[in-house]
Structure 1
Amino acid sequence: MKSDEYVRFLTEQFVRYMETPRDERAKARMEHKANRPPLRNQLFGQIPDAIESYAAQISEHFKKRKK
């Protein structure tokens, strides 16, 4: 992408942003925040879920063993 094309693209994006009403921009930001995955998944991916599942399996095993 050449520099003049990039400047044109940035200008179009900026104009599109400025033409949308403020309440629509705020609504879009809130929807984006609501659809985001939890922070622990953003930072560590599926590892926390795997550890949680493994810990649940171990605790079930020990509960059955005590009976």
Structure 2
Amino acid sequence: MSGNDYLKFMTEQIVSYIDLPPEERKKKHNEKKSNKIVANRWFGILPFAYRTWRKKG
């Protein structure tokens, strides 16, 4: 992806975010925040690496 394409993409994302009403932004933020896995937040990438390793074995 060239620099101009990336800049265009980021500008579109920012404008679409700004166009949302404040209630929608808050709702989206809270949904994103609640979907995080607590173990990953507390212990970093180790739980993810362990689960991946177990799935392969």
TM category, shorter: 0.5 to 0.7
RCO (CA 8 Å, sep 6+): is it higher in 1 or 2? Answer: 2
Q: SS of the counterpart of 1:30?
A: helix
**Cα RMSD (Å):** 1.6
TM-score between the two structures when normalised by the length of structure 2: 0.66
TM-score between the two structures when normalised by the length of structure 1: 0.57
Give the ranges of 4+ consecutive aligned residues of structure 1 lying more than 4 Å apart after TM superposition: none
Aligned length: 45
Runs of at least 5 residues in structure 1 that lack an aligned partner in the other structure? 48-67
**Which of structures 1 and 2 has the bigger CA Rg?**
1
Q: How does 1:18-57 map to 2 (within 5 A)?
A: 18-38=18-38, 41-42=39-40, 43=44, 44-45=46-47
Runs of at least 5 residues in structure 2 that lack an aligned partner in the other structure? 51-57
